[in-house]
Amino acid sequence: MDGYKGYDKLFTREGATAVEVGCWSHARRYFVEALEAGDTRAALPLSLIGQLFEVEREASASQVDDAERLRRRDTLSRPITEQLGRWVADTYNAEPPKSRLARACRYALNQWTALLRFLEEARLPLHNNASELRLREIAVGRKNYLFAGSDAGAERAACVYTLVATCVLAGVDPQAYLTDVLEKLSRGWPRRRLEELLPPMWKASREAAAQAPSVSPATT
């Protein structure tokens, strides 16, 4: 996550079960701003964060399983975070509080526990870029949504956007999907089987049909 305070109650309220996971891309961004403002000291934390991402790139390129990824994080990434944590704490304590570098260090320190969560679970990525990209689509289209025509029209548009976005996430061609599904619905597809038309299930069904052996007509 990006450290937005509005999310805090998801993790701190009574009975909360959600666990906060920090985003290293957001932590990196503040150090980039400090470097671009002329503070060359920010190059060190940026280099260390880059090393964290390099560990992940190499693990993905090697197609390692979760156990091996977690082992690499423990042996390679953990020492990097320890070095970075010491540098951030020392720098923050010696830095004027309003400087860009102090701001970058303060963000990292406030998010430190959440930023280290990736060391505990191999399936956790270092960043939330995927969700940021999905939210960007909403932000880009926000003004268009003002002219949906009616509340009902907006709800229908939201359903279409959701289906298309789900197709993209599932690796499904939205046009092929919508064409096939609308044809099925027009022919009276049973309501009790609507779940089969959701993009992931639709894709699985198509792949299974493509792999099924063809049956040659009987000859006499």
Q: pLDDT for 127-184, tens place per residue?
A: 887 666 666 666 677 777 777 778 888 888 888 888 998 998 899 999 999 999 999 9
How far is it, in rounded angstroms, from Cα 174 to Cα 32? 37
Residue 220 has pLDDT above 50, yes or no: no
Can you tell me the distance from the alpha carbon of 25 to that of 46, in angstroms, rounded to the nearest whole number? 10
The model's pTM: 0.65
Does 14 score more than 80 pLDDT? no
What pLDDT shows up at residue 129?
A: 74
Cα separation, 52 vs 56, in Å, equals 7
**Residue 106: exposure state from Cβ atoms within 10 A (0-12, 13-18, ≥19):** middle
Q: How confident is the model at residue 10 (pLDDT cuts 50, 70, 90)?
A: low
Distance between CA atoms of residues 160 and 219, nearest Å: 47
Contact yes or no for 77/122 (Cβ under 8 A): no
> CA of 116: how far to CAs of 12, 80, 142, in Å?
18, 11, 34
Structure confidence by residue, pLDDT tens digits, 29-69: 999 999 999 999 999 999 999 999 999 999 999 999 999 99
- Within 10 A of 128 (CB to CB), how many other CB atoms are there? 19
Q: Say which residue the tokens 């390099």 belong to.
A: 54
Residue indicated by tokens 């190059």: 43
Q: Coil, strand, or helix at residue 98?
A: coil
DSSP for residue 150: S
Q: Which residues contact 9 (CB under 8 A, 6 or more apart)?
A: 16
